C-alpha cells in the first residue's frame, strides 16, 4: 500500500514502518548499514505484534480478583475432617458434658479454662493415645470460652429444630441445617479450624456446608426427652435376652421411620413388635409382658430365651 501525503499526516502517534520487502531509498548504501536498518525494522514490528497479542489476551481473560482478607490457613478438607471427628466425640458424651459447659457461664474467665479442661479430660482418651482433634480442643479453650459466651452460640435448640433434625428425610438440606443447630455441632463448626483460623471464620465456613450425618443417638435422645418427643423401638421377641439386647432397630421418631427400618433390616423369620419408648420403659422389668402383647405368642420359656 502506497503511503500518500494525506495518510502520512494521520500517523501522528505511530511511527511509520516501511514494509520489509522494499529496499531503502539509498539502495547503494553499504551492506552492513542496510542489514542494521532491516534488523531495526524487524525489532519494531516484533514489538508491536507482541504488544497486540498481550492486549488481545487481556481482553479475552477476565482477571481473577482476590477476595479481601487473609487467605485460608486450613483447607476445606482438613477443616471438615476435624469437624466430623469433633461431632462424633461431642455427640457421644454430650449428655454428661453439657451441664459442665453451660455451668461455666457463671465462672470467671481466669477459672474457665481450668474448669473446661477438667470436664473435657474426663471424656478424652488418655494422653498417650489422645487423638489430634481432642488435643486441639483442649489446647484452645480460650476460643471455646469466647464462642459459648457469644451471641452466635445457641445453648438450647428450639423444639421445631429438634423435630426437623430427628424426623427429616435423608438428603434434605433442611434436615442437615437443623442438625447443625444442635450445640455439639455448633461447637464443632466453630472449633474445627482453631488455631489455624479464628473461630468465627471456622463457624462461617462450616455453616455453609452442613455435615450430612444424623445426630448421634446420645445427643438426639437427650433433646428428644427434653421436649418429650415420642420414639419407637423394634424388638425381636425370639432373640430377646433383655429388652435392649433384643432391639433390632431404633429409636425411630415416627412409625414410618420404624417401618422403613423393618424393610431394610431383612429380619425374615423373626417375630417383632413395635414399642414406644414409654412402653419399653414400662416393660423393662416385665419381659413376659412383651410376649403377651403379641397375639398367639406364649410366655417366655427356656427354649425361647
pLDDT per position as a tens digit, 184-241: 999 999 999 999 999 999 999 999 999 999 999 999 999 999 999 988 887 776 665 5
87 or 111, which is more confident? Answer: 87
Checking if the pLDDT of 265 tops 70, the result is: no
Checking if the pLDDT of 100 tops 60, the result is: yes
Q: What is the mean pLDDT of residues 169-195?
A: 95
The predicted pLDDT at position 24 comes to 52
| Other CB atoms within 10 Å distance of the CB of residue 236 | 17
User: How far apart, in whole angstroms, are the C-alpha atoms of residue 9 and residue 225?
Assistant: 92
The predicted pLDDT at position 184 comes to 97
Confidence of residue 74 (pLDDT cuts 50, 70, 90): very high
Checking if the pLDDT of 48 tops 80, the result is: no
23 or 228, which is more confident? Answer: 228
Checking if the pLDDT of 82 tops 90, the result is: yes
Task: Give the contacts of 175 (CB within 8 A, at least 6 positions apart).
Answer: 164, 165, 168, 169
Residue 233: half-sphere exposure toward Cβ, Cα within 13 Å: 21
Between the two ends of the chain, the Cα-to-Cα distance in Å is 107
- 3-class DSSP state for residue 84? helix
Q: Cell numbers at residue 183, please?
A: 450445640
- 3-class DSSP state for residue 188? helix
The predicted pLDDT at position 263 comes to 73
6 or 163, which is more confident? Answer: 163
Cβ atoms 200, 76 nearer than 8 A: no
| Other CB atoms within 10 Å distance of the CB of residue 74 | 19
The predicted pLDDT at position 250 comes to 80
User: How far apart, in whole angstroms, are the C-alpha atoms of residue 246 and residue 253?
Assistant: 19
Of the chain, the percentage scoring pLDDT greater than 90 comes to 40
The predicted pLDDT at position 32 comes to 63
Checking if the pLDDT of 152 tops 90, the result is: yes
Q: Cell numbers at residue 111, please?
A: 477459672
User: Which residues are 275's β-sheet partners?
Assistant: 233
Q: What is the mean pLDDT of residues 270-294?
A: 64
Amino acid at each position: 500500500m502506497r503511503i500518500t501525503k494525506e495518510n502520512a499526516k494521520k500517523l501522528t502517534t505511530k511511527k511509520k514502518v516501511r514494509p520489509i520487502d522494499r529496499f531503502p531509498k539509498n539502495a547503494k548504501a553499504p551492506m552492513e548499514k542496510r542489514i542494521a536498518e532491516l534488523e531495526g525494522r524487524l525489532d519494531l514490528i516484533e514489538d508491536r505484534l507482541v504488544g497486540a497479542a498481550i492486549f488481545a489476551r487481556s481482553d479475552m481473560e477476565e482477571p481473577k480478583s482476590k477476595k479481601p482478607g487473609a487467605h485460608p490457613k486450613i483447607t476445606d478438607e482438613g477443616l471438615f475432617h476435624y469437624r466430623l471427628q469433633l461431632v462424633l466425640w461431642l455427640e457421644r458424651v454430650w449428655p454428661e458434658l453439657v451441664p459442665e459447659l453451660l455451668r461455666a457461664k457463671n465462672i470467671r474467665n481466669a477459672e474457665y479454662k481450668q474448669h473446661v479442661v477438667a470436664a473435657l479430660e474426663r471424656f478424652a482418651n488418655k494422653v498417650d493415645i489422645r487423638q489430634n482433634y481432642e488435643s486441639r480442643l483442649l489446647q484452645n479453650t480460650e476460643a471455646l470460652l469466647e464462642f459459648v459466651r457469644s451471641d452466635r452460640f445457641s445453648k438450647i435448640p428450639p423444639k421445631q429444630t429438634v423435630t426437623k433434625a430427628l424426623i427429616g428425610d435423608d438428603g434434605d438440606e433442611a434436615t442437615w441445617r437443623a442438625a447443625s443447630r444442635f450445640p455439639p455441632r455448633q461447637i464443632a463448626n466453630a472449633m474445627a479450624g482453631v488455631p489455624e483460623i479464628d473461630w468465627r471464620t471456622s463457624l462461617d465456613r462450616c455453616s455453609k456446608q452442613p455435615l450430612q450425618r444424623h445426630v448421634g443417638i446420645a445427643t438426639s435422645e437427650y433433646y428428644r426427652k427434653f421436649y418429650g418427643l415420642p420414639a419407637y423401638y423394634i424388638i425381636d421377641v425370639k432373640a430377646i435376652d433383655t429388652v435392649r439386647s433384643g432391639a433390632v432397630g431404633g429409636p425411630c421418631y415416627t412409625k414410618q421411620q420404624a417401618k422403613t427400618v423393618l424393610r431394610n433390616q431383612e429380619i425374615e423369620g423373626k417375630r417383632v413388635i413395635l414399642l414406644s419408648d414409654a412402653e419399653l420403659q414400662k416393660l423393662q422389668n416385665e419381659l413376659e409382658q412383651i410376649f403377651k402383647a403379641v397375639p398367639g405368642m406364649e410366655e417366655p420359656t427356656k427354649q425361647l430365651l
